Structure 1
Amino acid sequence: MLWLKKIRRVSESAETGFLGRTLPELLDEGCDLTPNPEAFHQWTTLGWQTLSNQMMRSAAEDLALGLLHLGLDRGDRVALLMHSDTQFCIADMGSLLAGLVNVPIDLTQTLENIIATLQHSEAKVLIISNLDLLNQVAPFLGQASHLQHAIVAQVPDRWGQKRSQSATHPLEESHLIPSPSACLLLSAVHLQESEQNGPYCTEGIKIWSLEEIQRQGQPHLSDECLQQLRRDIRPQDLATLIYIPESDGHLQAVMLTHENITANALAAFDTLQNLKRGAKEVVLSFLPLNHIFARTLLYGHMAYGHSIYFSTATRMMKHVQEISPTILATVPLLLEKIYSKLLESAHKPTRFRYQQWLQRWGLQLAQRYELGKPLGLWYGILLKLADPLIFSRWRSLFGGRLKYLLSGGAALNGNIANLFGAASIQVLQGYGLTQTSAVVCVNRERLNYAGTVGLPIAGAQVKIAPDGEILVRGPSVTPGYYKNSELTRTSIDSQGWFHTGDLGVFTTAGCLKVTGLKKDLFKLATGKYIAPIPIEKRLKRSPLVDQAVVVGADRKFCGVLIFPNLLGLRHEAQNLGLAETMESLLHHPWILERYRAIVEAASCHLPYWSAVKQFRLIPTALTVEKGLLTPIGHLQRAAIQEQFAKDIEALYGNVSKPLDQPNIPPPPSLYLEGETCPTFAQSLNPKFTT
Structure 2
Amino acid sequence: MSDTQTLIENRPPSVATLFTRRVADTPDAEAYRYPVPAAAGAGADEWKSLSWGQAAKRVYAIAAGLVDLGLQSEDRVALASSTRVEWILADLGVMCAGAATTTIYPSTNAEESAFILSDSGSRVLIAEDAAQLAKARERRADLPELAHVVVIDPEGVEADESGWVLTLAELEARGAAYLEKNPEVVQERIGAIKKDQLATLIYTSGTTGKPKGVRLPHDNWSYMAKAIASTGLVGKDDVQYLWLPLAHVFGKVLTSGQIEVGHVTAVDGRVDKIITNLPVVQPTYMAAVPRIFEKVYNGVAAKARAGGGAKYKIFQWAAEVAREYAKVTQDNFRRTGNASAPFGLAAKHKVADALVYSKIREAFGGQLRACVSGSAALAPDIGYFFAGAGIHILEGYGLTESSAASFVNPGEAYRTGTVGKPLPGTEVRIADDGEILLRGPGIMQGYHGLPEKTAEVLESDGWFHTGDIGELSPDGYLKITDRKKDLIKTSGGKYIAPAEVEGQFKAVCPFVSNILVHGADRNFCTALISLDEPTILGWAEENGLGGKPYADVVASPEALALIEGYVKRLNEGLQRWQTIKKFRLLPRDLDIEHGELTPSLKLKRPVVEREYKYLIEDMYAGSREA
Tell me the TM-score normalized by structure 2: 0.74
After superposition, the Cα gap between the structure-2 partners of 1:502 and 1:39, relative to the gap in structure 1 and judged at 3 Å, is: same
Q: Which moved more, 1:293-302 or 1:313-322?
A: 293-302
Match of 2:319 in 1: 363
> CA–CA distance in 2 between the matches of 1:235 and 1:136?
34
Amino acid at match of 1:153: I
Q: Which moved more, 1:44-53 or 1:97-106?
A: 44-53
SS across alignment from 2:331: coil
Match of 1:583 in 2: none
Match of 1:657 in 2: 588
After superposition, the Cα gap between the structure-2 partners of 1:35 and 1:416, relative to the gap in structure 1 and judged at 3 Å, is: farther
After superposition, the Cα gap between the structure-2 partners of 1:113 and 1:356, relative to the gap in structure 1 and judged at 3 Å, is: closer
SS across alignment from 1:439: coil
Q: Any conservation in 1 of the 2:63–2:186 contact (CA below 8 Å)? A: no
Residue number among 366, 370, 380 corresponding to 1:400 in the alignment = 366
After superposition, the Cα gap between the structure-2 partners of 1:33 and 1:481, relative to the gap in structure 1 and judged at 3 Å, is: same
Matches within 5 A, 1:115-264: 115-156=114-155, 163=159, 179-181=161-163, 206-221=164-179, 223-246=183-206, 248-264=208-224
Match of 2:563 in 1: none
Residue number among 5, 15, 32 corresponding to 1:40 in the alignment = 32
Measure how far apart 1:16 and its partner are: 3.6
2:295 equivalent to 1:295: no
> CA–CA distance in 2 between the matches of 1:102 and 1:392?
42
> CA–CA distance in 1 between the matches of 2:596 and 2:317?
48
Measure how far apart 1:142 and its partner are: 1.9
Structure 1, unmatched stretches of 5+, are 1-10, 164-176, 182-205, 523-549, 564-613, 616-640, 660-678, 684-690
Measure how far apart 1:384 and its partner are: 3.0
2:92 equivalent to 1:88: no
> CA–CA distance in 2 between the matches of 1:682 and 1:426?
30
Amino acid at match of 1:180: S
Tell me the TM-score normalized by structure 1: 0.68
Measure how far apart 1:491 and its partner are: 0.9
Residue number among 404, 412, 425 corresponding to 1:438 in the alignment = 404
Measure how far apart 1:348 and its partner are: 4.0
SS across alignment from 1:112: helix
> CA–CA distance in 2 between the matches of 1:141 and 1:23?
33
Measure how far apart 1:94 and its partner are: 0.7
Residue number among 206, 230, 233 corresponding to 1:270 in the alignment = 230
Q: Any conservation in 2 of the 1:84–1:310 contact (CA below 8 Å)? A: yes
> CA–CA distance in 2 between the matches of 1:425 and 1:52?
29
Match of 2:73 in 1: 74
> CA–CA distance in 1 between the matches of 2:517 and 2:419?
28
Measure how far apart 1:224 and its partner are: 2.9
Match of 1:17 in 2: 7
Number of positions where the alignment pairs a residue of Structure 1 with one of Structure 2? 508
SS across alignment from 1:39: strand
Amino acid at match of 1:276: G
SS across alignment from 2:471: strand
Match of 2:622 in 1: none
Matches within 5 A, 1:305-384: 305-311=262-268, 312-350=270-308, 353=310, 358-369=314-325, 370=327, 372-374=330-332, 375-384=341-350
Q: Any conservation in 1 of the 2:514–2:589 contact (CA below 8 Å)? A: no
Q: Any conservation in 1 of the 2:113–2:135 contact (CA below 8 Å)? A: no
Amino acid at match of 2:48: Q
Measure how far apart 1:137 and its partner are: 3.7
Percent identity of paired positions between Structure 1 and Structure 2: 30
> CA–CA distance in 1 between the matches of 2:299 and 2:594?
38
Match of 1:285 in 2: 242
Q: Any conservation in 2 of the 1:461–1:473 contact (CA below 8 Å)? A: yes
Q: Any conservation in 2 of the 1:260–1:476 contact (CA below 8 Å)? A: yes
After superposition, the Cα gap between the structure-2 partners of 1:396 and 1:271, relative to the gap in structure 1 and judged at 3 Å, is: same
Amino acid at match of 1:421: A
Match of 1:30 in 2: 22
2:580 equivalent to 1:646: yes
Q: Any conservation in 2 of the 1:471–1:498 contact (CA below 8 Å)? A: yes
Match of 1:539 in 2: none
> CA–CA distance in 1 between the matches of 2:468 and 2:576?
18
Measure how far apart 1:557 and its partner are: 4.9
> CA–CA distance in 1 between the matches of 2:222 and 2:36?
30
User: What per-residue deviation string (whole Å, max 9, x for no partner) do you get for residues 584-610 of structure 1?
Assistant: xxxxxxxxxxxxxxxxxxxxxxxxxxx
Match of 1:538 in 2: none
> CA–CA distance in 1 between the matches of 2:225 and 2:487?
26
Match of 1:570 in 2: none
> CA–CA distance in 2 between the matches of 1:252 and 1:413?
29
User: What per-residue deviation string (whole Å, max 9, x for no partner) do you get for residues 433-477 of structure 1?
Assistant: 011111111111232111110111111101101111000000111
> CA–CA distance in 2 between the matches of 1:680 and 1:646?
26
Q: Any conservation in 1 of the 2:109–2:135 contact (CA below 8 Å)? A: no
After superposition, the Cα gap between the structure-2 partners of 1:36 and 1:467, relative to the gap in structure 1 and judged at 3 Å, is: farther
Measure how far apart 1:223 and its partner are: 4.7
Considering fraction of residues, name the structure with more helix: 2
Amino acid at match of 2:240: V
Matches within 5 A, 1:401-440: 401-440=367-406
Residue number among 459, 462, 472 corresponding to 2:438 in the alignment = 472
> CA–CA distance in 2 between the matches of 1:521 and 1:356?
36
Match of 2:469 in 1: 503
Q: Any conservation in 2 of the 1:241–1:254 contact (CA below 8 Å)? A: yes
> CA–CA distance in 1 between the matches of 2:143 and 2:109?
15
2:57 equivalent to 1:100: no
Amino acid at match of 2:376: A
Measure how far apart 1:343 and its partner are: 2.9
Measure how far apart 1:561 and its partner are: 5.9
> CA–CA distance in 1 between the matches of 2:136 and 2:25?
41
Q: Any conservation in 1 of the 2:407–2:421 contact (CA below 8 Å)? A: yes
Match of 2:57 in 1: 58
After superposition, the Cα gap between the structure-2 partners of 1:377 and 1:509, relative to the gap in structure 1 and judged at 3 Å, is: farther
SS across alignment from 1:417: helix
Q: Any conservation in 2 of the 1:414–1:451 contact (CA below 8 Å)? A: yes
Measure how far apart 1:35 and its partner are: 3.5
SS across alignment from 1:126: strand
SS across alignment from 2:271: coil
> CA–CA distance in 2 between the matches of 1:302 and 1:459?
20
Match of 2:572 in 1: none
Amino acid at match of 1:362: A
> CA–CA distance in 2 between the matches of 1:61 and 1:521?
48
> CA–CA distance in 1 between the matches of 2:502 and 2:122?
33
After superposition, the Cα gap between the structure-2 partners of 1:466 and 1:680, relative to the gap in structure 1 and judged at 3 Å, is: closer
Q: Any conservation in 2 of the 1:347–1:360 contact (CA below 8 Å)? A: no
> CA–CA distance in 1 between the matches of 2:78 and 2:380?
38
Measure how far apart 1:219 and its partner are: 2.7
Measure how far apart 1:512 and its partner are: 0.3
> CA–CA distance in 1 between the matches of 2:362 and 2:134?
42
Amino acid at match of 1:79: A
Measure how far apart 1:396 and its partner are: 0.9
After superposition, the Cα gap between the structure-2 partners of 1:645 and 1:483, relative to the gap in structure 1 and judged at 3 Å, is: farther
Higher relative contact order (CA 8 A, sep 6+): 1
SS across alignment from 2:412: coil
User: What per-residue deviation string (whole Å, max 9, x for no partner) do you get for residues 549-588 of structure 1?
Assistant: x99977855758699xxxxxxxxxxxxxxxxxxxxxxxxx
User: What per-residue deviation string (whole Å, max 9, x for no partner) do you get for residues 229-263 of structure 1?
Assistant: 22111222110100004464321010101111121
Amino acid at match of 1:62: A
Larger radius of gyration: 1
Measure how far apart 1:226 and its partner are: 3.1
Measure how far apart 1:521 and its partner are: 10
Structure 2, unmatched stretches of 5+, are 39-45, 333-340, 489-497, 507-512, 521-553, 556-574, 598-626
Amino acid at match of 1:249: G
